[in-house]
Amino acid sequence: MAAVTRLLRPNLRNKNKKVFVFRSITSNLTREESEQENEFRVLNLRSVQQRDAKKRQYKKADVPPPRTHKMATDQDWSAVWPAPRSFHPASVPLPIRQGYAEKGSAPSKFANAELMKIPNFLHLTPPTVKQHCEALKKFCNPWPKGLETAEKWKNHFPIDIVTTDYCQASPTIRNPEARRVKLSIKLSDLKFDAHAKDKFLRLVGEHYNRDTDLVTIVTDRCPLRKQNYDYAMYLLTACYHESFTTESWEATKSEADMEYYHYDRNKSKESVEAIINWGRTPATANDKLKATNGFISSLEQLINEGENEYNLNKYKEEVIKMLNIGGKVK
With a pLDDT cut of 90, the percent of the chain lying above it is 27
Task: Give the per-residue pLDDT at 19.
Answer: 43
CA 229 to centroid of chain Cα atoms: 16
Q: Check pLDDT > 80 for residue 284.
A: no
| Confidence tier at 30 by pLDDT (50, 70, 90) | low
| Confidence tier at 204 by pLDDT (50, 70, 90) | very high
pLDDT tens-digit series, residues 245-254: 998 888 787 7
| Span 89-113, average pLDDT | 88
β 160-162/208-209 pair status: unpaired
- Is 89:109 a contact under the CB 8 Å cutoff? yes
| Confidence tier at 296 by pLDDT (50, 70, 90) | confident
3-state SS assignment for residue 161: strand
Q: Check pLDDT > 50 for residue 18.
A: no
pTM attached to this predicted model: 0.52
Task: Give the per-residue pLDDT at 252.
Answer: 80
| Confidence tier at 236 by pLDDT (50, 70, 90) | very high
Length, in residues, of the chain: 330
Q: Who has greater pLDDT, 292 or 180?
A: 180
CA neighbor of 292 nearest in space, from 269, 262, 313? 269
Distance CA 139, CA 141 (A): 7
| Span 24-42, average pLDDT | 61
Task: Give the per-residue pLDDT at 323.
Answer: 81
With a pLDDT cut of 70, the percent of the chain lying above it is 84
Q: Who has greater pLDDT, 131 or 2?
A: 131
Query: Residue 30 burial (CB < 10 Å; 0-12/13-18/19+)?
Result: exposed
pLDDT tens-digit series, residues 40-66: 777 777 665 556 566 777 788 888 888
Distance CA 152, CA 160 (A): 14
Instruction: Identify the bridge partners of residue 181 per DSSP, sorted by sequence position.
Output: 219
Task: Give the per-residue pLDDT at 279.
Answer: 75
What number of other Cβ atoms are within 10 A of residue 302's Cβ? 19
Q: Check pLDDT > 70 for residue 288.
A: yes
| Confidence tier at 178 by pLDDT (50, 70, 90) | very high
| Span 108-131, average pLDDT | 90
Query: According to the per-residue pLDDT averaged within each range, which of 9-18, 123-132, 303-312 is highest?
Result: 123-132
Task: Give the per-residue pLDDT at 23.
Answer: 45
Distance CA 292, CA 45 (A): 118
Q: What is the mean pLDDT of the chain?
A: 82
Q: Who has greater pLDDT, 199 or 11?
A: 199
3-state SS assignment for residue 322: helix
| Confidence tier at 165 by pLDDT (50, 70, 90) | very high
Task: Give the per-residue pLDDT at 29.
Answer: 52
